[in-house]
Amino acid sequence: MPICVHCSTPTQALYVSYGPQHLICTKCKACGAFADPYVEHEAIIVVIDLILVKPRAYRHLLFNRKDVFAQDDTRKKVKESPATTERKAWLLLARHFLALLLVDAYLRWFYLCRDHNTSLQESMSGDLSTRLLVLWSYFNILWSTCTTMLTLHTVVLLWATVYHRAVRWIAQRQTDSSRSKIDQNELQRFKMHLIPNALLLSSLTPTFLLCLLLLWQPLSHSSEDQKQPGEWQWNEASIDWAIRSLVSGLSAGVGLGVVLPLQRTKVGALMATTILMIGWYLQFVVSQKLGMPFHSGVGVLQSDEGQIAAKLYCLAN
């Protein structure tokens, strides 16, 4: 059942159709606002709100867009079995994961190996063996990026599932007078695949900003002669660090928060933060083991961990 994107209350329908071009959004019985105004808007509005880290955009995509995350679609005449719906959801998740992984690995590879191997440009136009070496360095970083991403997703999924079962266990033992404190609808609509999907959605904002930074970078290089030594490296490194840590943290917190039970309480916010902190810590440990630097933008080679990573992953001069 779809939900109101403002207060998460389930609603029978998001709109009433009076023809192909005439939709009227239904109002939420709980908060009185239109349950999901995104059904009237273009997809770009959803993307912009997602980049602006608005919880309602996450709710719209995770709970009301059946075509994106393959939840049970009640509009279908032939209803699929829950196992089929679940399998489709995990397959879609794997595709989304792979797409994001390829982009993130490329960003890391570009910043780490571009400056380290001063003959990279010449290598790309060189013989086949040199090109294969360049590709090999990318696949090495791809593998390490995949391992660190899987670590985060697995740890967060594991703890979120434990948390959900704990809340459900408590809800089953509550008295009728205190049962209203736990929203039963939140517990019922929880699906395991929503956790990694929420994390992937939250990764879109930092990835989008890092791609913008990548496109922006040549402009800074064109004015290299006028700038102070090291000035741009520091500025762009700071932006990269802020995107990787602050923006990623905010997005992941919001994404996970709309999926976990008790999302509108302090307990829910605390649990989302705690689970993410555990996931990030273990991801950091795995990154250190693999020699991958946390920072991945311009200036990565100025750090000690960047130098070590470049020797591990990049094509030698």
User: String of b and e for 260-297 (b: at least 16 CB within 10 Å)?
Assistant: bbbbeeeebbebbeebbeebbebbeebbeebebbbbbb
Q: Name which of 4 and 93 has its Cβ closer to Zn ion.
A: 4
The nearest distance, CB 2 to Zn ion, in angstroms, is 11
Asked if 31 interacts with Zn ion (CB under 5 A), we say yes
Q: Which is nearer to Zn ion, 30 or 158 (CB)?
A: 30
Closest CA to 315 of 67, 141, 166, 150: 141
3-state SS, residue 194: helix
Q: Cβ 276 to Zn ion, closest distance in Å?
A: 26
Examine residue 7 and tell whether it contacts Zn ion (CB under 5 A): yes
Rounded to an integer, what distance in angstroms lies between the CA atom of residue 41 and that of residue 141?
A: 39
**C-beta closer to Zn ion: residue 8 or 202:** 8
Torsion of CA 235, 134, 105, 145, to 10 degrees: -110
**Amino acid, res. 41:** H
Locate 124 and state its tokens. Answer: 């790309």
- Asked if 209 and 251 count as a contact pair (C-beta separation under 8 A), the reply is no
Whichever of 37 and 253 has its CB closer to Zn ion, that residue is 37
CB of residue 185 to Zn ion, shortest distance in Å: 12
CA dist., res. 126 & res. 14, Å (int): 57
Mark the segment that binds Zn ion (CB under 5 A) among 20-28, 82-90, 139-147, 204-212: 20-28
Closest CA to 35 of 17, 1, 53, 11: 11
Nearer to Zn ion, 8 or 197 (CB): 8
Using CB under 5 A, pick the residue from 3, 10, 14, 28 that binds Zn ion.
28
Q: Is 4 in the site for Zn ion (CB under 5 A)?
A: yes
Choose the binding region for Zn ion from 23-31, 158-166, 218-226, 284-292 (rule: CB under 5 A).
23-31
30 binds Zn ion (CB under 5 A): yes
How buried is residue 72: exposed, middle or buried, by Cβ count under 10 Å (0-12/13-18/19+)? Answer: middle
Amino acid, single-letter form, for residue 78: V
Distance of alpha carbon 144 from alpha carbon 200, whole angstroms: 17
Q: How far is the CB of 182 from Zn ion (least distance, A)?
A: 18
Shortest spacing between CB 1 and Zn ion, in angstroms: 13
> Least CB distance from residue 6 to Zn ion, whole Å?
4
Residue among 4 and 167 whose Cβ is closer to Zn ion: 4
User: Could you tell me the smallest distance in angstroms from the CB atom of residue 31 to Zn ion?
Assistant: 3
User: Which residues are CB-neighbours of 69 under 8 A, at least 6 positions away?
Assistant: 61, 62, 89, 92, 93, 193, 194, 197
Shortest distance, position 186 Cβ to Zn ion, whole Å:
14
> Which residue, 25 or 30, has its beta carbon nearer to Zn ion?
30
Three-class DSSP category at 288: helix
Q: Which is nearer to Zn ion, 32 or 230 (CB)?
A: 32
Query: Which of the ranges 26-34, 77-85, 107-115, 192-200 carries the binding residues for Zn ion, by CB under 5 A?
Result: 26-34
- DSSP-derived letter for residue 315 is P
Coil, strand or helix at 103: helix
Residues 259-288 that bind Zn ion (CB under 5 A): none
Stretch that binds Zn ion, among 4-12, 62-70, 124-132, 136-144 (CB under 5 A): 4-12
- Please report, as ranges, the residues that interact with Zn ion according to CB under 5 A: 4, 6-7, 9, 28, 30-31
